[in-house]
Amino acid sequence: MKKIIFSALIISVVLFSCKKRNIEEEVLEDSISGRKIRYVVMVLDGSNSVNKSITLDSAKVSLVMNDSIYTKKIDTTGLVHFDYLFAGNTVVKISCENFTTVNYIVDLTAEFDTTEVYDSDNLRVVSSLITIFPTKGENTAKIIGKAFADLDLTTTGLETVPANTRVTARINIKCLEEYISHSAPGGILNFSYKNVNADTLIDASGNYEIIIPASLNGLEVIINADDFAYDQQISPTQTQRKIYTLIPDTLNVISGCTKINDLIFE
> Domain range for residue 152?
141-171+198-264
Between strands 180-182 and 124-132, the pairing is: antiparallel
Considering the domain architecture, whether residues 53 and 161 belong to the same structural domain is answered as: no
Phi-psi domain of 206 (left: phi exceeds 0; alpha: psi -120 through 50; beta: other): left
Average pLDDT over residues 24-38: 51
Amino acid at 190: N
Share of the chain above pLDDT 70, in %: 79
Phi, psi (degrees; rounded to nearest 5) at 178: -70, -10
* Whole-prediction pTM: 0.78
Same domain, 126 and 145: no
* Residue 180, domain member (yes or no): no
Residues 122 and 163 in one domain: no
pLDDT at residue 146 in the model: 97
Q: Which of 6-20, 142-156, 207-221 has the lowest mean pLDDT?
A: 6-20
Q: Which CATH number is 212's domain given? A: 2.60.40.10
Write the pLDDT tens digit of every residue in 167-224: 999 999 888 988 888 877 778 999 999 999 999 999 999 999 999 999 988 999 999 9
pLDDT the model gives residue 77: 83
Q: 114 CB contacts (<8 Å, ≥6 apart)?
A: none
Report in angstroms the alpha-carbon separations of 93 from 52, 82, 130, 231.
19, 13, 11, 49
Rounded Cα–Cα distance for residues 208 and 172 (Å): 20
